[in-house]
A and B are shown apart, each in its own frame.
Chain A
């Protein structure tokens, strides 16, 4: 009997995948089932979650987090608010920085390209804990960043202790409102446990420092993706545009960017998936503070379960976060897919099919690399 024998392949096939099934099943699929049960129970962390003392409470944990007024809902909404500003700040900036670095490195006259590429990419491979310690020092009250700001006559804040929101500060600076006595119409009613004044705060100074750190760290990985795509751009196309009299910016805008569209899509998708999961920096640097302005759903979930022993709520937050990330990536996919719908000629149908394949591929890549980073 040789390896080509179907019965042999049947047995060997299952034998080959068994270690993977056991480990992924035991530490990934089974835990999700257990956590689902815990999120529907009142387990407080003592004994087994499956013992008779633990009661089934239905959707109580979810409703405490989403529907009923109280501290649980307020904290979750704060964490959503913080992460929303975090995502809105980090994703575009890291994409633009990554693209800029890639374009700089792609210059044909550049000498020492390997050095610069290494320098820009290196932070991406370093542990988030090591980078966080470094940034705690750089952004300290009398640290390097504030020293540099001092050269320009600026008084840097005490970054990681500063809970003031950037939009609050901006409004104050422009004379729209005063942060010490916010306008009454913004403080009175509450929407989902927070006043409009709290919703529009913007990222706090502390969160902004973390955002700068994350942008600085992750841009390198995305830069490599852009660089690979830029090198696929046929030289002839750009030259044709040059001969046609297009200037540098026009060539970039009308030749390079359309060519990079799939890569931009990939980078933005990865950015979304990654930023909603932010946890390490909060654990190491701020523990959610100051004034809960760096609280994120992932950190809140951990804190609720491990620090305060409300395991049901902690697990429920994890599922809510999962649903949110899933919904956002599906939505993004759907928006981008819909663009080609109306046309029906054979040509455009064929094009659409191609586009769809590219998108599916992008999605898989996003998932693969998302787990890698």
Chain B
């Protein structure tokens, strides 16, 4: 009995952690490459959830809704890059972060006015409803979808960053904007690519959260998005695989805290863990030397 409940909790934690991983990856794409914290990502994620929700409710197949939400989120992200980041890129790193804070206020207000601030309920039909039971432990199809999409997107992102010309150009801009320009990379375009990629990931995370919880509110951005920042820090902002490790870690930690310590303790534990990591190992679990992470911020 005790063991199966524990396994069930770990599975639920992994599902939550998968969502954290995607949002943390969205944060770290912009943070690692441009050295700015795009606070609007948490609200882009929320917008993605609502777009996906609306499409599914309108009868669109889940896969298409997922892609639609990702594209919508990427477009929002590109707008933020053009208005909120590009003109401010020569200012100190705090200024572009504040402008993304402005955008997150706009996006949240937009969502409360468009979809209302009451929770939105989704009823899943057909194959998505299925649950597999192994004794007392059960795994839903939705959870499997969350795992598959998360791992798939992480692998795609890693391949894109490490194996393609776009990835090389992104990393060149991250290393030195001016020299990469001299060598023929277009930094402005690469910045848009980084923002668009991060929007795609955040939008996907939004749809997955909607499927998993089947209830969303305009405030999930602050609730879940802020915790993804903690995941990014714990994993290491400059390493893609850091988010894939820290996401499930924090997801499991959080779910176990809820199960054994009380629901109100969860944020306490997660942010406490983040601060301990910041003090002991500021570059994160999988970050490089502290020198490289210190130089960029």
A and B: bona fide binding partners: no
The interface of chain A, by Cβ under 8 A from chain B, is none
